[in-house]
Amino acid sequence: MSGKLYVIGLGPGNAAQVTPEARTAIAEASVFFGYGPYVERLELRPDQTRHISDNREELARARAALEMAEAGRTVAVVSGGDAGVFAMAAAICEAIDYGPDTWRNLDIAIVPGLTAMLAVAARVGAPLGHDFCAISLSNNLKPWEVIEARLKAAAAAGFVIALYNPISRARPWQLGSALDLLRTILPAETPLIFGRAVGRPDERCAVVSLAEADADLADMATCIIIGSPETKLIERPGRTPLVYSPRSSRKDAT
């Protein structure tokens, strides 16, 4: 008799942003898999066990979780943000795709969560108020040339760009290089938002122009939103400015 596999998005880190659906799934599961900082957010019961692994071991974690579900357990794999955005749901699918046929019969439920760019955007206004894209800046799993081509295509076509995985110890130069590339396409005054750990006690959110933007403003917990040429800034006395991308576009096609 096989069990069940939940793949759960925990949201950006604020407990008030975890959906009731995710809480219910957490209560039902008996075994938890995930990257340490995400699993540590859970308040588990003594009968619930945890398997923590590094964030570069996604496929091994997925396989271990699938094996345990096949053995009859109710298993949860947890991600920060949304489980489907640069997170564990794709690793689970990949493991099934290349795994034993029996894994295709497993009962799998993916529980969506608030992804970081939505929480960052809400802090400053509505920078994602019109067409936008999300790009992972990690070249661990794709060539840097693909990332450059996508940045160019998105910026030139007028998309707002949310950057995930902007920087890490092993990837120190990529964000600076991406900002340099964008400076050749977008106006110097384009607003950027560096949203770090939004909703958590150590939250830090900065709005800067593309001209001022510096890779040092980001760390592993940062999601960066880069405005389109239509994104606007509203100065407010004594308050942080609002940033929004208007609902209407009057620009010609680029």
Contacts to a copy of itself from residues 55-74, by CB under 8 A? 58
Binding segment (CB under 8 A) for a copy of itself, from list 32-40, 121-129, 185-193, 200-208: 121-129
Specify whether the CB–CB gap between 63 and 97 falls below 8 A.
Answer: no
Helix, strand or coil, per DSSP, at residue 58: helix
Assess 142 for contact with a copy of itself (CB under 8 A): yes
Assess 211 for contact with a copy of itself (CB under 8 A): no
Q: Which of 14, 7, 17, 12 is nearest to 81 (CA)?
A: 12
Would the CA dihedral through 76, 80, 81, 83 be positive or negative? negative
- In whole angstroms, the minimum distance from the beta carbon of 199 to a copy of itself comes to 9
Binding segment (CB under 8 A) for a copy of itself, from list 39-47, 70-78, 216-224, 234-242: 234-242
User: Binding residue for a copy of itself (CB under 8 A) from 2, 14, 30, 55?
Assistant: 14
Assess 170 for contact with a copy of itself (CB under 8 A): no
Helix, strand or coil, per DSSP, at residue 120: helix
User: Binding residue for a copy of itself (CB under 8 A) from 80, 84, 191, 227?
Assistant: 84
- In whole angstroms, the minimum distance from the beta carbon of 107 to a copy of itself comes to 9
Binding segment (CB under 8 A) for a copy of itself, from list 40-48, 150-158, 185-193, 200-208: 150-158
* Rounded Cα distance, 236 and 222, in Å: 24
Q: Which of 111, 107, 147 is nearest to 22 (CA)?
A: 111
* Rounded Cα distance, 65 and 7, in Å: 10
Q: Count other Cβ atoms within 10 Å, centred on residue 41.
A: 16
User: Binding residue for a copy of itself (CB under 8 A) from 13, 115, 166, 217?
Assistant: 115
